[in-house]
Every structure is written in structure tokens, then in C-alpha cells.
């Protein structure tokens, strides 16, 4: 029997202006996935959650879709058992299905010695996103795979990656809200079908600041690019008191604030050489709380992406 263990992190997609193109891979939390494969006369894939998994959502569906797509394309006749230990909160804009999809793709690639390039890994991992959320978007999976700040070229799936500026911290605040089960599908249904020239131009200018900020290690410049004239205005109704919480984060020293992925988590970036990220976290949590909305929150940083931790 072949066995492999892979760890893949949470991610935050869009960064305001970079809808479906930008993402960061976070340092924490992470999913751990184990794949076991034994020769069989036909393909059989089973995915389960480990007892110590803190959450259970659509990751098993996502992983199965990825493994089945790979097994079909490469004609793999194996019995494959996947086990997930998930610590990434589900359906809150932190790329939970992306992490397990990428872990499955990276694990299967190494286990079956397929030697796929990163574009092919993204192509297969996107099958997991499709199964879990109804659309093949590549931003979260690129962030989870590579870590850092990643941009995906949507025609070729080529990615460009920048490391995190030193001292940059990420504050994630997740309000406890009742949202539809397939939340990403719902959040995408809120988006406008067409975008005016003025809004498009504004978003190009914001997105340019994000990229230039990462290229120049300038946290304040990145923060000023986390604005968004198109997606955020359409989605912020999902998050009660969004404007007030955003304002509180900026007043307490955040360099920029946006919706994390399809929400409802909010992400603030902080230059920890100048501002204590705990101050920003507490202020955001406090403002949700003052309106009777409980929120979970944590401080992390940009991480290194998916890693194989053990191969037997």
C-alpha cells in the first residue's frame, strides 16, 4: 500500500479589487489530508473525516471529485482512501474546499508519480471547487498551493507569486451569520453581470496598488488597494454593519480591509511594525458585538503553501 500525508492552508481570495485573480495563502489554519492507495481491478474512492477533525463540510466531496478526475485521466486502477483532518472553518471565505482539493491533487500527483506542473495541479484542484461551490475559480487554490501573494492568469493558469512583506499581519474576523448552505454560489449570484467603465477603471487602479505594494514590500500601498468598486458593494449586504466594522479597523490602524473571498469573513492587513494587530482584531470584534453579532477572530500572516509532510 502507498501512503502520503499533505498539509494545505486556508487562503483569502480577491483582496478587494482582484476578484477571482488574487489570493494569499495563510500560515494558519491548515487541513491535513492522508491518502492511502492499494492496487485494485477498478477505481474506488472513499473520503472520510478523521475523529479529530474540528469541522465537516464539503471537503470530502471536493477531494473525491479531484481524485476521481485524476484517476480517470491517468487510468489509475486503485482503491484510494482519503482521510481529512480539517481545522479550516467551512463556508466563511477562508478557502476550506480549496485546501482539501489542493491537498488531494498534490498528494495524488506524488503518490502516483505523475509529475504534474502547477497548472495541471490547479486544473484538477478546480474540480474540487466546482463540486463544493458550483464554480471553477482558481484564486483560493492558487493561494493554498503556493502560499505568498498569488495572481492567476485565467487563460493559461500561469501564476505569479510575491512573498509577504516582513511585518505584515493578517486579521481575520468571521461574524456568526446564517447564510445559505452553498454560500459561495449564493455570493456569486449577487454579482452584477455587467460593469461600467468608471468602476472598471477604478478597480484596475486599486489592483495595481496591491501588485505594486507586494513588489515593493509596501504594506500601506497594498492596504490602499484592498478597495473594490464592483464586488464588495454587491456583497456587503451579506455582512450587517460591514461599513462600520471596516471603518473601525481602519481607525484602529489597519492598512486596508476587505471581504475575505466570498465572505462573510472580513480581512484586515496590518503593518505590525507600526500597529498591534490585536488592537485591530479586538476593535472589529467589538463593533460586531456591539450590534449583537458574535464573531470569531484570529491574527495570522501569509504562509508557505501546501507541503507533503510524510510519504510511506
**Which positions touch ligand HSE (CB under 6 A)?**
13-14, 19-20, 93, 137, 139-140, 184, 187-188, 261-262
Grid cell of 162 as nine digits = 510575491
Q: At closest approach, how far in Å is the CB of 228 from ligand HSE?
A: 10
Q: How far is the CB of 231 from ligand HSE (least distance, A)?
A: 7
Q: Pick the closer one to ligand HSE by CB: 34 or 127.
A: 127
Measured from the CB atom, the residue of 69 and 238 that comes closer to ligand HSE is: 238
70 DSSP 8-state letter? H
CB of 220 to ligand HSE, least distance (A): 24
Q: Are 236 and 259 in contact (CB under 8 A)?
A: yes
Q: How far is the CB of 170 from ligand HSE (least distance, A)?
A: 16
Cα dihedral: 132, 133, 137, 138 (round 10): -30
- Residues 6 or more apart whose CB falls under 8 angstroms from that of 123 comprise 157
Helices (H), 166-310: 183-189, 197-215, 219-224, 231-235, 242-251, 277-289
Residue 61: burial class (beta carbons within 10 Å; 0-12, 13-18, 19+): middle
Beta carbon of residue 182, minimum distance to ligand HSE (angstroms, whole number): 12
Compare residues 126 and 262 and give the one whose CB is closer to ligand HSE. Answer: 262
Separation between Cα atoms, residue 85 and residue 88, nearest integer Å:
9
Minimum CB–partner distance for residue 119 and ligand HSE (Å): 18
Q: Smaller CB distance to ligand HSE: residue 20 or 28?
A: 20
CB nearer ligand HSE, residue 137 or residue 281: 137
- Rounded CA separation 171/147 (Å): 17
First-to-last C-alpha distance (Å) of the chain: 9
Min. distance of Cβ 81 from ligand HSE in angstroms? 28
Residue with smallest beta-carbon separation from ligand HSE: 261
H/E stretch holding 144 reads helix 139-146
As measured in angstroms, the least distance from the Cβ of 115 to ligand HSE is 29
Residue 20 or residue 247: which is nearer to ligand HSE going by CB? 20
> What is the strand order of the sheet 256-259 is part of?
256-259, 266-271, 168-175, 295-300
Q: Which is nearer to ligand HSE, 256 or 261 (CB)?
A: 261
State the Cα–Cα distance between residues 107 and 82, nearest whole angstrom. Answer: 10
Q: Are 297 and 271 in contact (CB under 8 A)?
A: no
Angle at CA of residue 126, ends 149 and 261, nearest 5°? 45
Nearer to ligand HSE, 99 or 116 (CB): 99
Amino acid at each position: 500500500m502507498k501512503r502520503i500525508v499533505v498539509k494545505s492552508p486556508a487562503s483569502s481570495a480577491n483582496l478587494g479589487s482582484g476578484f477571482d485573480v488574487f489570493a494569499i495563502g495563510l500560515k494558519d489554519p491548515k487541513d491535513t489530508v492522508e491518502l492511502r492507495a492499494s492496487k485494485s481491478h477498478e477505481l474506488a474512492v472513499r473520503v472520510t473525516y478523521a475523529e479529530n477533525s474540528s469541522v465537516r463540510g464539503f471537503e470530502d466531496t471536493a477531494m473525491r471529485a479531484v481524485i476521481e478526475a485524476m484517476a480517470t485521466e491517468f487510468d489509475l486502477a486503485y482503491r484510494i482512501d482519503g482521510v481529512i483532518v480539517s481545522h479550516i472553518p467551512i463556508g466563511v471565505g477562508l478557502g476550506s474546499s480549496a485546501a482539501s482539493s489542493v491537498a488531494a491533487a498534490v498528494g495524488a500527483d506524488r503518490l502516483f508519480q505523475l509529475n504534474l506542473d502547477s497548472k495541471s495541479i490547479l486544473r484538477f484542484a478546480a474540480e474540487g471547487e466546482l463540486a463544493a461551490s458550483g464554480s471553477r475559480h482558481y484564486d483560493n487554490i492558487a493561494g493554498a498551493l503556493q502560499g505568498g501573494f498569488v495572481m492567476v492568469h485565467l487563460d493559461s493558469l500561469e501564476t505569479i507569486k510575491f512573498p509577504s512583506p516582513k511585518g505584515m499581519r493578517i486579521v481575520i474576523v468571521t461574524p456568526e451569520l446564517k447564510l445559505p448552505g452553498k454560500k459561495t454560489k449564493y455570493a456569486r449570484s449577487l454579482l452584477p453581470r455587467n460593469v461600467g467603465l468608471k468602476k472598471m477603471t477604478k478597480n484596475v487602479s486599486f489592483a495595481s496598488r496591491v501588485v505594486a505594494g507586494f513588489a515593493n514590500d509596501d504594506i500601506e500601498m497594498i492596504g490602499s488597494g484592498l478597495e473594490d468598486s464592483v464586488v464588495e458593494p454587491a456583497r456587503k449586504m451579506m455582512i450587517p454593519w460591514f461599513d462600520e466594522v471596516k471603518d473601525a479597523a481602519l481607525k484602529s490602524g489597519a492598512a486596508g480591509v476587505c471581504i475575505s473571498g466570498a465572505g462573510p469573513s472580513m480581512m484586515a492587513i496590518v503593518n505590525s511594525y507600526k500597529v498591534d494587530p490585536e488592537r485591530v482584531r479586538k476593535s472589529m470584534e467589538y463593533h460586531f458585538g456591539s450590534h449583537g453579532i458574535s464573531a470569531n477572530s484570529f491574527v495570522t500572516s501569509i504562509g508557505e503553501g501546501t507541503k507533503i509532510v510524510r510519504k510511506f
